Amino acid sequence: MFRFLSRIAAVSGVGLFVAAASAAENSNVPNFASTTDGWIAINSDFVPVPGSPKPVVFDPKYPFRRNDEPGQATYRIADLNNRNLKPWVVAELKKWNDKVLVSGELGTTPRWSCLPGGVPGFSIFVVEPVYVIQSPKEVLLIYSGNREVRHVYMDVPHSNNPKPSWYGESVGHYENGDTLVIDTIGLNDRTYVDLFRTPHTTALHVIERWKLSADGKAIDLRARVEDPGAFKAPYEVTKHYTKVETPWLEVACAENPIGPVYQGLDPIPQAETPDF
């Protein structure tokens, strides 16, 4: 199966764990580091920030319910009346709505294809935990599903013209002793900003604030999403993570001992040759 992104084996895990321990001793650096602990989000959608333009949410005529909520689970049908969307974005969302409402197809989410989530899409991955490795020069955010890795380069400026990629170019710094601020540009336009498949352009700019709770048991993420090619104004969303004690397991999205998980439901990329 197709493989993407750097793997944990490409770095010295031992060295980074030591660096993470050193970072944790600095009172100005919040300790997000994962050894036997990870961070799990349950709600798969972002939560709107009061006073901000709203992200895409479900059409009130077709309420969305997750599998773990009371009542019959439903597919996501985007609300096309969001005034912050450019016309072409509304047209793209309508295509996905029509697949369910008109064609009777399954309402698949972007993750069904097992492609990388991009930013802020990385933060709508749920169930499998996110692990954090900290060093003075770099922070790694690792989603255990498919071992997808985000590299955050600390206390450096952005490149002048970063080449667009799945996870773009992220630079970061710490604030107030409890927050990791991540500024990301250089994203390609093959990802979506949410599970409604809201598209974006390569002008997408995302600023995330990962704030550690006082007891170290939770992370509140607040993200500012800006893309003048897709949205009329920047908007903000939040996400909540809870710390859990769980081992690092290798979880493949596109395959299992039987065969491709989503075969026939959503195209899964494949390669003729290995990437190692």
Instruction: Specify if 270 maps to a domain.
Output: no
Pairing assessment for the beta strands 169-175 and 148-154 based on DSSP bridges = parallel
Instruction: Specify if 276 maps to a domain.
Output: no
Instruction: Specify if 273 maps to a domain.
Output: no
Per-residue confidence in pLDDT tens, the chain, 276 aa: 333 333 443 343 433 343 444 444 566 899 998 777 899 998 889 999 999 999 999 999 999 998 878 888 899 999 999 999 999 999 999 999 999 999 998 888 888 888 899 999 999 887 789 999 999 999 999 998 778 899 999 999 999 999 999 999 999 999 999 999 999 999 999 999 999 999 999 999 999 999 999 999 999 999 999 999 999 999 999 999 999 988 877 777 776 544 555 444 566 667 788 766
Instruction: Specify if 214 maps to a domain.
Output: yes
Q: In angstroms, what CA-CA distances link 59 with 74, 79, 219?
A: 12, 4, 29
Cis peptide before 129 (omega within 30 of 0): no
Query: Which residues constitute the domain of residue 106?
Result: 8-155+162-244
What's the pTM value of the predicted model, to 2 decimals?
0.85
Instruction: Specify if 2 maps to a domain.
Output: no
Instruction: Specify if 96 maps to a domain.
Output: yes
- Report the number of distinct structural domains present in the chain: 1
